[in-house]
Structure 1
Amino acid sequence: MSGPPGAADPRRGPLGRVTTAFYWFLVVEVAFLVAASPGLIGILLLDRSPGNIPLYALCLVPLGPAYSAALSTVEVRRRADDLSPWPRFWRAWVRNLVDVLQVWVPALAGATILGLTLAFGPAAGVDGFFRGAAVVFLVVGALWSWNALIIASLFRFRARDTARLALYYLAAKPLVTLAALSFLVLATALVAFTSDVVLAALAVLFAAFALVSARPLIADVTARFVAASDQ
C-alpha cells in the first residue's frame, strides 16, 4: 500500500537500504544455486580422485552461465534500485548463455588436460619441467577465465574478441589480475579445507567482490570499446 503523498520512501533509509541489499543478494544466490544445480549435484556425488577430473569439468559447465548471470544481476544492482532480481537473473542467464559457453567450455577443456597432466604425469614419465609449466598455464588459464567471464557477462563482443581482451587485460591491469589471483587462492582454500558447498553458498559475494576489483577493467573496456562506438 502506498504511503501518503510526499512521504519519504522507507527503502531510502539506512535500514531500508540494508534490507534491500540483503534481499537482492539472497535472491541472486538462490537463483545461482538453481541454475548451477545440475553441476553442483554432480560434484557432490563425485569422489575427489584424479580419475574424476574430466567429470568435474563436465559438472562445472553449468556454473559458468550461472555465475555470469549473477555478475550481470549484481552489476545492475549498482545502477538500479528495484526489487526484481529474480527475473533479471534469468534474463541475464539467457542473454549471456552462448557468449559465456564459448569461452567457458574451452577453458574447462584446457584445464582438464592440464589437470590430468599434473595428476598422472609422474606415472606417465612426464618431466618435472613440463609439470611445472602445466601449473603455470593452469593459473594463467584461471585468471584468463576470470577476465573472460566478466567481459562476456557485461559486454556483447565476439568470442575471439572477448578472448583477446581477457588476455590483454592480464598484463594491462596488473592490480585487477592480482585481485583475481587472491580470489582464486581463497576459493581454492575454501574448497580444500571446507567443501564445494561453502564456495557455492558464497558465489554471489564472490561476484560482488569480483565486480568491485575489476572496476578499472570494466571502465577501460567501456571507454575504449563501447562508448566510442555508441557516439
Structure 2
Amino acid sequence: MTHQAGSPDPRRGVFTQATGAVYWFVVVEIAFLLAAAPGLLGILLLERSASNIPLYALCLLPVAPAYSAALSALAARQRDDDLTVWPRYWRAWVANLGDVLWVWVPVLAVAAVLGTTIAFGAAAGVDGFFVVTAGVLATMLAVFASHAIVIASLFRFRARDTARLALYYIAAKPLQSLGTVSYLLLAVALVAFTSDVVLALLGAVFAAFALANAKPMIADITARFTAAEEPGGPQ
C-alpha cells in the first residue's frame, strides 16, 4: 500500500505519537534504573536512620548522572521523535558524567553535613536557630542542585560557570525555583508515605517535570550564552 500525496501520514497520527511518547518514557525509565542501580540498591538495603545520612549521600552518587542522562534523552525527544532512545540515553550518560559529578559531589558533601546538623542538632545542643538555618540552606541547596543538573545536562559550560548560572537563576527565575521546590516536596512525600522504589520508578516522570519547569531558564541560557546552538546539541 502506498501513501497518497496530500493524505495524512498514518505514522504521524495521534495514537502513534502517544505510543511513541510512552515508548520513550519506558525506555528512559529502564535505562535510568540500570544506570542508578548501584546507588538505588544501596538505599534499599540501608535502614531509615539519621545515622546513615553519610551512607545515603554515597549511595546517591550514581543517581545524578543517571537522572542527567534522562533529562538529555527527554530533551532530545522534544526535537526529534524517532525511536532511537536507548543509544541516545547512554551517549548522554557518558557525555554528561564528568560535568554532573563536578556539581553533584560537592552538593552531596554539603547536604550530608546539613542533614546531620538537622537530624542531631537538638540532641547535640546546637541552637535551634542554626538548625532552622540548616534546613533553609538544605532547601536552597536542593534547588541549586536541580538547576545545576539541568544546565550541566543540556549545555557545555565549565563547572564554575554552571554553578554560577544555577545560583543566578534561583533568584532570576523565582517561579521556576518555587516549581522546583514543589516537585522536590512531592518526591520527599512519595518517599515518606510510600517507598524509595516508587520514587525510582517515577524517575523519568520527574525528569519530564524538571524539563517543563526549567523551560524559561533553558530559553534564557540559549538566547544569552550560546551561539545559535540548541540545548543538548552535543548529545
Question: TM-score w.r.t. structure 1 length?
Answer: 0.95
> In the alignment, which residue of structure 1 is the partner of 2:122?
122
> In the alignment, which residue of structure 2 is the partner of 1:40?
40
How far 1:228 sits from its partner (Å)? Answer: 6.5
> In the alignment, which residue of structure 1 is the partner of 2:208?
208
How far 1:6 sits from its partner (Å)? Answer: 4.2
> In the alignment, which residue of structure 2 is the partner of 1:64?
64
Contact 2:72 2:154 in 1 (8 A): yes
Matches within 5 A, 1:13-24: 13-24=13-24
- The one-letter amino acid of 1:20's match is G
> In the alignment, which residue of structure 2 is the partner of 1:135?
135
Q: How many residue pairs get matched? A: 228
2-structure distance, mates of 1:9, 1:27: 25
How far 1:118 sits from its partner (Å)? Answer: 1.1
Matches within 5 A, 1:149-228: 149-227=149-227
1-structure distance, mates of 2:140, 2:182: 13
- The one-letter amino acid of 2:205's match is L
1-structure distance, mates of 2:224, 2:54: 38
How far 1:205 sits from its partner (Å)? Answer: 0.7
1-structure distance, mates of 2:182, 2:227: 30
Cα distance change, pair 178–228 in 1 and its aligned pair in 2 (3 A): same
CA deviation map 1:206-229 (0-9, x unaligned): 111111111000000000000379
Contact 2:222 2:229 in 1 (8 A): no
Contact 1:143 1:181 in 2 (8 A): yes
How far 1:5 sits from its partner (Å)? Answer: 4.9
Unaligned runs of 5+ in 2: 231-235
CA deviation map 1:133-179 (0-9, x unaligned): 10010000000001000000000000000000000000000111010
> In the alignment, which residue of structure 2 is the partner of 1:4?
2
RMSD of aligned residue pairs (Cα, Å) = 1.4
2-structure distance, mates of 1:227, 1:171: 24
Q: Does 1:110 align with 2:110?
A: yes
CA deviation map 1:47-82 (0-9, x unaligned): 000110000000000000000000000000000011
How far 1:105 sits from its partner (Å)? Answer: 0.8
2-structure distance, mates of 1:51, 1:141: 21
Contact 2:170 2:177 in 1 (8 A): yes
CA deviation map 1:179-225 (0-9, x unaligned): 00100110010000000110111110111111111100000000000
- The one-letter amino acid of 1:158's match is R
Unaligned runs of 5+ in 1: none
Contact 1:99 1:159 in 2 (8 A): yes
- The one-letter amino acid of 1:102's match is W
CA deviation map 1:74-120 (0-9, x unaligned): 00000001111100000000000000000011101100000011111
Q: Match of 1:122, SS?
A: coil
CA deviation map 1:18-52 (0-9, x unaligned): 11000010000000000000000000000000110
How far 1:123 sits from its partner (Å)? Answer: 2.0
- The one-letter amino acid of 2:104's match is W
Q: Percentage identity across aligned positions?
A: 65
Worse-matched range after superposition: 45-54 or 8-17: 8-17
- The one-letter amino acid of 2:102's match is Q
Contact 1:11 1:20 in 2 (8 A): no
Contact 1:31 1:86 in 2 (8 A): yes
1-structure distance, mates of 2:11, 2:135: 48
Q: Match of 1:227, SS?
A: coil
